[in-house]
């Protein structure tokens, strides 16, 4: 019976994590596109949009996705680990894109979306659950 409760908790966290991730992605796009199109250089827009999405994502993950799981002291260490995990996710997606569309495979630009959707979210979920908010 104890394992059933743990699996229910894990499934709930995964669903909440996914919803926050979808929201954060949409927020990133809504901020990035107008900034890059009308206000600042696209690289600057990426940094600004990423910072906002990560900030909102941290608040939602800590207060909803992983609420009641382990410790969440809201410390600078927890916040730093969260930003590091998000950076790992970004680097993973960059690597997938470089390998799949670059000199190795010369694939179409949609190929990196497959591992970006099927690998990166689970990697960041695991790191957030056990290292950031665990």
**Does pLDDT of 88 surpass 80?**
yes
**Does pLDDT of 2 surpass 60?**
no
Q: What is the pLDDT of residue 73?
A: 56
Q: What is the per-residue pLDDT across 102-126, written as a single tens digit (0 to 9) for each?
A: 788 988 776 777 787 788 778 888 8
Find the angle CA(94)-CA(63)-CA(16) to the nearest 5 degrees.
60
Q: What is the per-residue pLDDT across 21-70, written as a single tens digit (0 to 9) for each?
A: 889 888 887 888 888 788 976 766 767 887 888 888 888 877 777 666 55
**C-beta atoms surrounding 86 within 10 Å:** 21
Three-state secondary structure readout of 35-47 = HHHHHCCHHHHHH
Q: What is the pLDDT of residue 129?
A: 80
| Highest mean pLDDT: which range of 7-11, 44-48, 69-73, 90-94 | 90-94
pTM of structure: 0.62
């Amino acid at each position: 019976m104890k394992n059933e409760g743990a699996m229910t908790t894990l499934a709930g966290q995964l669903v909440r994590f996914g919803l926050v991730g979808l929201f954060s992605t949409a927020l990133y796009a809504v901020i990035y596109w107008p900034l890059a199109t009308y206000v600042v250089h696209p690289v600057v827009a990426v940094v600004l949009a990423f910072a906002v999405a990560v900030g909102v994502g941290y608040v939602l993950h800590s207060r909803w996705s992983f609420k009641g799981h382990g410790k969440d002291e809201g410390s600078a260490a927890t916040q730093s680990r969260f930003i590091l995990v998000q950076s790992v996710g970004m680097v993973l997606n960059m690597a997938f894109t470089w390998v799949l569309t670059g000199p190795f495979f010369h694939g179409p630009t949609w190929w990196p979306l497959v591992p970006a959707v099927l690998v990166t979210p689970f990697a960041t979920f695991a790191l957030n659950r056990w290292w950031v908010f665990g």
